[in-house]
Amino acid sequence: QVQLVQSGAEVKKPGASVKVSCKASGYTFTGYYMHWVRQAPGQGLEWMGWINPNSGGTNYAQKFKGRVTMARDTSISTAYMALSGLRSDDTAVYFCARDLGDTLTTTAWLDPWGQGTLVTVSS
């Protein structure tokens, strides 16, 4: 079955960077866009961007441009999201989520999701 397994929780100081991984299994990794979404404690969902694992092409939400980098390693079917210049309001659970459609019929509907990675930014 399709599964996305994310790396473990991180604690970072303000100004630092964090890199979260998302290992995919059960499908052809290069065949589907991967999205990243975050959720601050007790808050709603915020889309950060996507990566095309086949080409490496990316598209970032305006809010995160200049601070976020999405990458992939096709040899190990893993996507990465790095966020720099961390602030306290970056404290959130970060999710990877696969696009419902393949790269030829991308949909921007998200299914399934990884289990989430808590990133805490605190001095």
Partner 1 sequence: EIVLTQSPATLSLSPGERATLSCRASQSLSSNLAWYQQKPGQAPRLLLYDASNRATGIPARFSGSGSGTDFTLTISSLEPEDFAVYYCQQRSNWLTFGGGTKVEIK
Query: Is 74 near partner 1 (CB under 8 A)?
Result: no
The one segment of 24-32, 70-78, 84-92, 114-122 that binds partner 1 by CB under 8 A: 114-122
Q: Are 91 and 40 in contact (CB under 8 A)?
A: yes
From the CB of 52, what's the least distance to partner 1, in Å? 15
**Nearest C-alpha neighbor of 98 from the set 12, 6, 17, 19:** 6
The one segment of 11-19, 22-30, 38-46, 68-76 that binds partner 1 by CB under 8 A: 38-46
Q: At 44, list the tokens.
A: 């709603």
**Measured CA angle at 89 (ends 44, 45), to 5 deg:** 15
**Nearest C-alpha neighbor of 33 from the set 115, 81, 83, 101:** 101
Q: Are 65 and 73 in contact (CB under 8 A)?
A: no
From the CB of 14, what's the least distance to partner 1, in Å? 26
Query: Is 35 near partner 1 (CB under 8 A)?
Result: yes
Query: Is 57 near partner 1 (CB under 8 A)?
Result: no
Residues that bind partner 1 (CB under 8 A): 35, 44-47, 61-62, 95, 97, 100, 107-116
